[in-house]
Amino acid sequence: MIGVNVKDNESIDRAINRFKKMITRSRVLNEYKERQQYVKPSEEKREAMKKSVREERRRQRDNY
């Protein structure tokens, strides 16, 4: 469980920002969103291939 202790003389806004940063780094929300809907393994592979093709094209474009 992720928690944040509010330090002395620290504003609540700053503590909330630290909490948000910890959540994003731990990837809790990403995992929650992925589990919301079932994706077939074949669709996962297809999306992974599309992503790799896009990244490769971007790398080639940046090299020139």
- The sign of the dihedral angle between the CA atoms of 8, 10, 11, 12 is negative
Task: Dump pLDDT digits (tens) for 4-52.
Answer: 889 889 999 999 999 999 988 998 888 999 899 999 999 999 999 999 9
CB 47 within 8 A of CB 37: no
Task: Dump pLDDT digits (tens) for 32-45.
Answer: 998 999 999 999 99
- Token couple for 28: 């809790």
CA dihedral 29, 33, 34, 37 (to 10 degrees): 160
Cα–Cα dist 37/45, whole Å: 16
**Which residue ranges make up each domain of the chain?**
12-63
Return the pLDDT at 38: 93
